[in-house]
Amino acid sequence: MSTDQHTAQTAGLTWFKSSYSGTSGGDCVEVAAGLDVVYVRDSKATGDRPVLRIARAEWAAFVRLAVR
């Protein structure tokens, strides 16, 4: 899988928190879909902190394997 840490402006994206994340904070994963990539970040890593940028096809392959 080719991923990179991406620090470009992602403020216009809509972020979704994992359904496995509790309401008391802690370790949470969020994803946002761009035009041709999916962004993944720690929910506490907002602002200019790096996020992973993954091609949509590679993200789809990951999700297919994860839900088995």
The confidence score (pLDDT) of residue 9 equals 56
**The pLDDT value given to residue 47:** 66
The strands making up 51-55's β-sheet, listed across from edge to edge, are: 3-6, 51-55, 37-42, 29-33, 16-17
Run of H or E residues at 16: strand 16-17
- pLDDT in the model for residue 1: 46
Q: Which two tokens stand for residue 52?
A: 């992973």
Q: Which helix (H) or strand (E) holds 66?
A: helix 56-66
Residue 14 has a CB neighbour count (10 Å cut-off) of: 8
pLDDT digits (tens, 9 = 90+) for 7-51: 455 668 888 887 777 666 666 888 899 888 999 888 776 667 788
